[in-house]
Amino acid sequence: MFHVLTLTYLQPLDVIDQTRPAHLEWLGEQVEAGRILLAGRVESQTGAVVVTGDMSAEDADALAAADPYTQAGVVSYERTSFNAGFRAPGV
């Protein structure tokens, strides 16, 4: 299963940005490990979207719980899981 993790910011951007360096470092590690395929802020800057690699729902929830944003209490995560029946080559 793949998962779309939708983050909603619970604090203003200036508060979010205090944790952003740790969050970006964590994202880089997850991308390098293949656990995250895509990530970025939404256009409105009220949250972000993360698309995971193929993993269980439990692993996706654990991934969200390990995010420095989650640990700082500045975001909430919502998970939408899907079976990737159609994939680009190499995904």
Mean pLDDT of 25-30: 97
Question: What integer pLDDT is reported at residue 75 of this predicted model?
Answer: 98
**What is the tens place of the pLDDT at every residue in 12-26?**
999 999 999 999 999
Strand partners, 38: 51
**Residue 91 in this model has a pLDDT that exceeds 80:** no
The domain limits of the chain are 2-76
Question: What integer pLDDT is reported at residue 71 of this predicted model?
Answer: 97
Look up residue 25 and give its amino acid.
Answer: E
Cross-sheet strand order for the sheet of 75-82: 36-41, 47-52, 2-9, 75-82
Which strand (E) or helix (H) includes residue 64? helix 57-66
Look up residue 56 and give its amino acid.
Answer: S
Question: What integer pLDDT is reported at residue 88 of this predicted model?
Answer: 82
For 2-76, CATH number?
Answer: 3.30.70.1060
Sign of the CA dihedral with 17 first, then 22, 25, and 31 last: negative
Binned at pLDDT 50, 70 and 90, residue 89 comes out as: confident
